[in-house]
Structure 1
Amino acid sequence: MLERIAYNRRAAVAYAHRWAFQRNPKYYDYEDIGGDCTNFASQCLYAGSGVMDFTPDFGWYYLNANDKAPAWTGVEYFYRYLTRQTPTPGPTADLVRLSQIFPGDFVQLSSRDGIYTHTAVVVQVLGRPTFRSVLVASHSYDADYRPLSTYSFQKARFLHITAVWRQQETVNPIS
């Protein structure tokens, strides 16, 4: 049985600030083989959720560079995992408007051909959310406190973390 736990937005944002311009040695750096942005976003999300989903192929987890779910490092897989309809262990998100974004949420940007190619973590919103007031951290063009308005993109989608699910611990009544 799954139980809903709180998502720690502050922990996710603190992790983003800590590692925006460096690489955590616990994780492989994918910069030279396609980019590190979604790997970094997943690390931030894990810092705020503390739960991985070890479902083969369709989960969201990282054990090492060669044993990870596609959703840990792939932009589209990350999106599909977070917006899944059936709860499994791990975080979930809703696709929302820019006006509904908060620190600890995620932004994905598409290139000119409409394919989403970049994931960034929202670290601060200055007043009403706009492309100028939403500041992000990311890898693959390392950044922290970077306004969304400074990126070149065709479309943006916004992922608001709504829940974190974990396996409920069972207690043996006979101890």
Structure 2
Amino acid sequence: MMAVTPAHLPRVPYDRAAAVAYAHRWAYRRNPAYYDYEKLGGDCTNFASQCLYAGTGIMNYTPTYGWYYIDANNKSPSWTGVEYFRNFVTRNKVNPGPVGELSDMDSVELGDFAQLRFQGREAFSHTPIIVEIGEPRTLDTILVAAHTYDADYRPLSSYTVDELRFLHILGAYPPNIIEF
């Protein structure tokens, strides 16, 4: 029997165009299907998760450690939390839902995510989606959409940050891919 490893698992492709189209549609508005967490610390990662879901169509309903949204009070920490979002996406090796990796600026694509640690802050606290990449590739030519600091086509260079990282989305694992 062959061991199940991430390299052997089928992945659903990430529909980058769908994620970016969703970002443009809702950058300055709120989709009524989702709660607006603006008054509870910010809505940026909720918006990032909505965009990612628009491009994958797969959630992971594992309590606490999954990546899902049912309603305002029934969602995973990774749906709305910057660090939890990064952890779920980059550490998901075999479970349903999106999978990705930390990346550099030269490897990002449309629909990937930036995470920002603002000056004077100890932790990363903002997750915009990349909606346009110009050449030459610089922080001036990578444009993002976001909530909390609502934006569309905003250059990454316009943020005052101490640290920046990128999350490259590889696709998503479908539910029930491993049968025992």
Q: Answer yes or no: is 1:123 the counterpart of 2:118.
A: no
**Structure 2: runs of 5+ lacking an equivalent:** none
Distance 2:57 2:92 in 1: 20
Question: Shift of the alpha carbon at 1:27?
Answer: 0.1
Q: 1:38 aligns with which of 17, 42, 45?
A: 45
Question: Shift of the alpha carbon at 1:163?
Answer: 2.0
The aligned residue for residue 105 of structure 1 is 112
The alignment's C-alpha RMSD in Å is 1.5
More strand by share: 1
The one-letter code of the counterpart of 1:147 is: P
Q: How many residue pairs align between the two structures?
A: 170
The aligned residue for residue 173 of structure 1 is none
Distance 1:77 1:169 in 2: 23
The aligned residue for residue 157 of structure 2 is 149
The one-letter code of the counterpart of 1:138 is: A
Q: 2:141 aligns with which of 129, 133, 148?
A: 133
Alignment of 1:15-30 (within 5 A): 15-30=22-37
Whether contact under 8 Å (2:16, 2:110) holds in the other structure is yes
**Structure 1: runs of 5+ lacking an equivalent:** 171-175
What TM-score do the two structures reach when normalised by structure 2?
0.90
The aligned residue for residue 72 of structure 1 is 79
Whether contact under 8 Å (1:71, 1:78) holds in the other structure is yes
Q: 2:91 aligns with which of 84, 91, 99?
A: 84
Question: Shift of the alpha carbon at 1:130?
Answer: 1.1
1:117 alignment partner, SS class: coil
1:167 alignment partner, SS class: coil
Whether contact under 8 Å (1:90, 1:166) holds in the other structure is yes
Distance 2:53 2:92 in 1: 20
What TM-score do the two structures reach when normalised by structure 1?
0.93
Question: Shift of the alpha carbon at 1:132?
Answer: 0.4
1:146 alignment partner, SS class: strand
Distance 2:59 2:151 in 1: 25
Distance 2:73 2:113 in 1: 25
The one-letter code of the counterpart of 1:29 is: D
Distance 2:97 2:142 in 1: 25
Q: Percent identity?
A: 53
Whether contact under 8 Å (1:53, 1:89) holds in the other structure is yes
Whether contact under 8 Å (2:68, 2:75) holds in the other structure is yes
